[in-house]
Structure 1
């Protein structure tokens, strides 16, 4: 046993001491196995030395299950280890993690999460044991990984991996195939083509003499790799070689959807100047070697980690699927080096029914593949109509779509605008972008959001949810029980068949329920609401609206504003709301309430109930035996044809209603609660309670009629002590008697017309 001098720093403070370690006197070194007594703790830094070629030092460390630490190994001192190599072993000495160049330059850096509580061993070594010199080993509590932006990832690809220096071809690229089979050549050509569609790069075949090859493809060596000759100083790539072995091609497939094709994309990325997504090479794991959360194939083909190994994406449901194009960060990176191209400027369709574009985007040929779309112009469509799985189709750049049963497998590159999207037969979610979109849900219970600007949304079959958001949108639910929200601006909403819910939101909207029992809410703005077939509920909300119930028995609410309401066919209920409203009951026996404002209510041909409410209203019963009540305000009441009942329940100054056409068969209804004991058991007015003139002579005289003026008064006490109250005006000279009146209160009176409902004390007229 000998004493070996170690330098240990804890929490940033350096200390020098002699530590007794288990090494043999002959070797004079820390053992490279589990017999070591050298230790390191979390928060410490140790300086050691590899004395001879092949030397390795083991340090024991105790960790707790679930604890995550960061381990770095770097060359240091006057004679540093040139290329460090870091390994971690479990308590039995079995290798569980390793790292070569995860740190800066050729230094090592890794994260480790302990899967159990106990002893682990950290091995300080060099690449292939070929270097000697001093090293610094540090262990610290790992900080949570950061979510990188695409620009941060692109910077890692173009310069971070290369130690801060970019590299790229500065002259035309001429390629040559050496020994490749026809199938291998096809994959290499396709991979070059996909890089050329996302960057301003031209690949041309080499020819002897005028254009010698500076990009060589070979299959003669094992594995897959790329290497480049780079000019010192300016980073210009002189030449690159891509090797994908014949065995690799045989093992990993020969199609565009294969891992072999992804390998060609990856290695050509290196040949063009891109490094790895992290400082790893040869082998790596997400748990140990990732330095940011979204290091994955989902963001870059230059990553080592598929979508499911990366826990950031796997926790969002992403599944592992091979990559068929440069991905989001790759496109940013390669355009930083070479500039942007003009690619696909026509009206292109991606997915099903695609014609004349790259095969990887054809969902019939390659339904299970990940790709990023780069498109320079035209009116373009994502068509995933052939898939039955539930999908997310997102037209926003730099967002992920989930199509064909995969999660997160399609993305749209930065700055790319695609206009339209078509869903499949599953329950899809379609999301629009910042331009005018046409979004088709097709079958299934879809959720469709148009985003800003004027969009057209089609729900298709199923119970769909359509949201227009901003912009002047057209939303069509079509079949199924749909929920449709126009959002801001001026929208048109069509429910289609089914029991739909339509909400106009802000703006001057048009809401059309069509068939089914629909609910329409106009919201703010001057809206047009049409219920269509079925028993609909229409609420116009604020604004000067036009409402039409159309067929069946509907409920129509005018809300605020000066509204025009047409009840349509059926037994409709109308509440005009505040504002000066115009209401037509149209066909069917309707119940119409004017509510606030100076309203005009028309009953049409059936036995209707018209109630004016507050304000100076005009009520027209039309044909049929109607019940007409002006309520508060000085109202104008016209019964029209039929035996009509004019109802008075509010007495007092400033509340005098005028009956324009009282005729034989009509009745005047009086609120019983104001007439005390003058009611017989049938509810008609007692003969003694009615008197011609303007002065009550005895206690029975309650209703006074001045024929010469047509004025009707109510006397509260019947003896003239209290001045009679004028409550109605009819045509002067009209003949009246006690039988011209009906009194209503707690007991229900008889019907006023055959087949009509009796007016009871619980009737809302007297509420």
Structure 2
């Protein structure tokens, strides 16, 4: 049964200065209320969700009509933080009966509270919205006030003590009457935005601040209480001791909470330090976690580990016996997110340095250091963030899991990063390099290298000589470097840059960006809406499947859009140079820029259309030949910009 009539001829009355709680029972339900207004008086009307969770409506709409049913005004999401709706400052020309209607902005159902208030003259406001306010309160001394009209802002002064946590609360007689609050510090031009709910916070100085509360109408009580100190120390001098093999569970207790743990480490011993936390809401800022030296003059960040721990430092080995401080800064994260910090001895790293022979060395679960030296070495890092250097010779260098740093050295090396975000440098020789999974950074160096980046958003540079480069799965950036390179992007949107040499580039799947720099290059965009730049050299540009954009350079290029409705752009011209467009299809467009329209002319040469761009200062025209095309169609598709 509908609680309030879904008709303009409603019997429900909305009193001025009162509130009604109702419900949108089904999708499309519209509740109507009659309200008596007096000419020349300013009024506000507001609607907000009532109750909690699934019981409340999150996004209401409000509308005002005259006695004849003519729409006057309405709104949605007046306060973005709460998505409430309101009409403020309506002054009727005539006294009489009006109508207010409310519903949901979407398909949701739930409860709401709707209010109507008369807006008093400014001089009747109980508390000013400025530092001149007469309102004060403090711990144990709450203050009562009234939102005199919709959008009323009341300021209250309160004295705070440095490094003391506080909680502010507000209670209202009318549901939905409170909208938002801000802590203001005019002397420092600083503040803290609470929004629609107060969260515990810590005072940063002994000072007087102002709490600015905003509401829609009705009485309220504002209070503040001093909270117990955080169980975990907030500075190195108050740090909480965390022994080796121990763990501590805690949470962010208030805004800008800082938790500091003291750790004692012995030289030469490997340690694992981790901070794991409960799931937080999407969009929540990450913790700022770092390990500081005792003198606080240096720090190491804790970052996501390959095992999935959000903040970890595995296999850390100090050079001397030291005290360190693990610092967690919660900043503006929501209060109450649980976390666990743990400190334990880790796997001792394997440190190996080869000599002249063909060495074989395997790491362990720690951050190993394997250096091959001369000879054809086999070096395998296994788990952990390893550093492996092949040295001279044809080496096998394999990182394993973890974020590894691999260097092949001189010689024709076989290298693979496996899982993790690896940094791989081939150095000299004709190297075979595989990135594996993870967002890798790979550089071939000198020699004819073959690089297969694998899965992940990789950065690949071939270096000197003629390289074969493949991005694989992921959004890759591939730069050929010097030499006649062959490059392939893979299945997602990639960036491929040819640089020096006569390169062959294939974008593969996805909307790729391809740049043909120096040399006579060939580019094939593949599937997707690709963007291909010709730049210098006599290049061949083929868009492949999709609606591609091809930009010719200053030399004689051949441009074929492939399948799809393509766009051809010319910005650089060479006197006496002819660019050729093949595979012309109806609907495609040609743009020429940095030239006067009077300098552009069209003619027919057999089955082709010639676009002549006059360059009088250079002594010869630049030409664009559109093969197998109709003159009228090309003329209609040519734009001079």
Normalised-by-shorter TM-score class: 0.3 to 0.5
Structure with bigger strand share is: 2
- The structure whose RCO (Cα within 8 Å, separation 6+) is larger is 2
TM-score with structure 2 length normalisation? 0.41
Structure with bigger helix share is: 1
TM-score with structure 1 length normalisation? 0.35
Q: Which has the larger radius of gyration?
A: 1
